[in-house]
Amino acid sequence: MKIVFAASEIAPFAKTGGLADMVGSLCQEIQSLGHEVAAFLPRYKSVEIQKWGLAAAIEELQVPIGSERLSGKLWQASRGGVRFYFLDQPEFFMREHFYGTALGDYPDNDRRFIFFQRGVLEALKGLNFKPDVIHVHDWQTGLIPVYLKTIYSGDSFFQKIR
């Protein structure tokens, strides 16, 4: 079975709490059971290209947000048999913190994570990687199932993804 995990944090790459540990461990455990696993997360400022040995997977990924299309880049790395993909969009993710500062959440978190969620789906199509299941985690990825049943429902590429 091909399984995609989408999360805003995955250990060891990006971590603020338990979500990152849980998703990182779950990816490895599911892979060890013989499934093909790919995981997607934003490429935050702390996810350094050299440190993690990232390689370009898609040089320019066009992601629709409302009536506009924003460009991003997709990076990849492999660890323990799991392929990790990092969606790079400097305006959204090259910040000191993942979600906000001590003063509160970033005011554009909705836009940032809509970009991420639509970016995951656009990247799957760009990579021609059709999973059987997309496993989403927390509010930052919660719209992916909604998008599959609405915006992407007429696209044959996504028809059998659960």
pLDDT, tens digit, 9 for 90 and up, residues 71-92: 999 999 999 999 999 999 999 9
Residue 68: what pLDDT? 94
Give 111-156 pLDDT, tens digit per residue. Answer: 999 999 999 999 999 999 999 999 999 999 999 999 999 999 999 9
Name the average pLDDT for the chain: 96
Which residue bears the tokens 């090259």? Answer: 94
Residue 148: what pLDDT? 96
The token pair that represents 141 in the structure block: 């990825």
Mean pLDDT value across residues 34-54: 97
* Residue 71, amino acid: S
Residue 25: what pLDDT? 96
Cβ-in-10-Å burial (0-12, 13-18, 19+) of 155 comes to exposed
Beta strands in 16-54 (DSSP E): 36-42
Beta strands in the chain (DSSP E): 2-6, 36-42, 55-65, 68-79, 82-88, 100-101, 104-105, 133-136
Using alpha carbons, select from 137, 27, 29 the residue that is nearest to residue 145: 137
* Residue 50, amino acid: Q
In angstroms, the CA 119 to CA 87 distance is 7
Mean pLDDT value across residues 56-67: 96
Angle, CA of 116, 119 and 123, to the nearest 5°: 140
Residue 57: what pLDDT? 98
